[in-house]
Amino acid sequence: MTNSNAPSRLNYQQQSPELMKKLVDIGMGIANSGHIDRGLSLLVDILASQLNGCAFCVDMHVKEAKLHGERELRLHHVAIWRESPLFTAKERAAFAWTDALTRIAPNGVTDELYAEVSAQFNDKELSTLTFRVATINAWNRLNVAFRTTPGIYDKAFGLDKAGLN
């Protein structure tokens, strides 16, 4: 376990701006595709970030979801989605897919899970959801590796308006 109070290591955004831009472009392409609901995308981002222990991303995406109108109790229940009655079958399928792709098992993704997710998402949506999970995992790994301080960009991103500081 890492010390969340430890100082940031380096600013990867300044060190590799051209790569940062490409990752932002991928994220914007996914967000603007219209294939996955914005609210669901944010919940997926929160879950993957929780699984990866990325304080920066959990902080950011909870604030984004709140600004997007997500109910606070559902935000608290993301961590316990399997037991919570607050999520739809489609959201549960997305969470199971996110979990499986974030913590890839030695035997990969089961046919049963693929069938479950395919029953909730068409091919285009499932492809986009998979890119979403892959992208948030990339962000998580960058922010965990370099200990990006949670909330550091709140004002710049308008996240201070969530009232969660």
CATH code of the domain covering residue 113: 1.20.1290.10
Is residue 1 one of the residues assigned to a domain?
A: no
Whether the per-residue pLDDT at 126 is higher than 80: the answer is: yes
For residue 102, is it within any domain? yes
> In the prediction, which pLDDT does 6 show?
72
- State percent of the chain over pLDDT 90: 82
Q: Pseudo-torsion of CA 27, 51, 123, 93, nearest 10°?
A: -140
Residue 57 located in a structural domain = yes
pLDDT given for residue 11 in this prediction: 87
pLDDT above 90 (res 14): no
Model confidence over 127-152: pLDDT tens digits? 999 999 999 999 999 999 999 999 98
Is residue 103 in some structural domain?
yes
Answer yes or no: are the C-beta atoms of 68 and 38 closer than 8 Å: yes
Residue 161 lies in a domain: no
For residue 82, tell me if it sits in a domain. yes
pTM beyond 0.85: the answer is yes
For residue 90, CA distances in Å to 75, 77, 93, 104 come to 16, 16, 5, 21
Q: Which two tokens stand for residue 29?
A: 């392409």
Q: Tokens standing for 123?
A: 């091919």
Contacts (Cβ under 8 Å, ≥6 apart) of 155: none
| pLDDT tens per residue across span 28-59 | 999 999 999 999 999 999 999 999 999 999 99
Closest CA to 6 of 57, 55, 49: 55
Question: Region 62-77: what's the mean pLDDT?
Answer: 97
Confidence check: pLDDT of 17 > 60: yes
Exposure string over 122-160, b if 16+ CB within 10 A, otherwise e: eeebbebbbbbbebbbebbebbbebbbbbbebbeeeebe
Does residue 6 sit within a domain? no
- Does 163 reside within a domain? no
Reported as a pLDDT band with limits 50, 70 and 90, residue 13 is confident
Cα torsion angle, 34, 151, 72, 120, sign = positive
What integer pLDDT is reported at residue 154 of this predicted model?
A: 85
Q: How many domains does the chain have?
A: 1
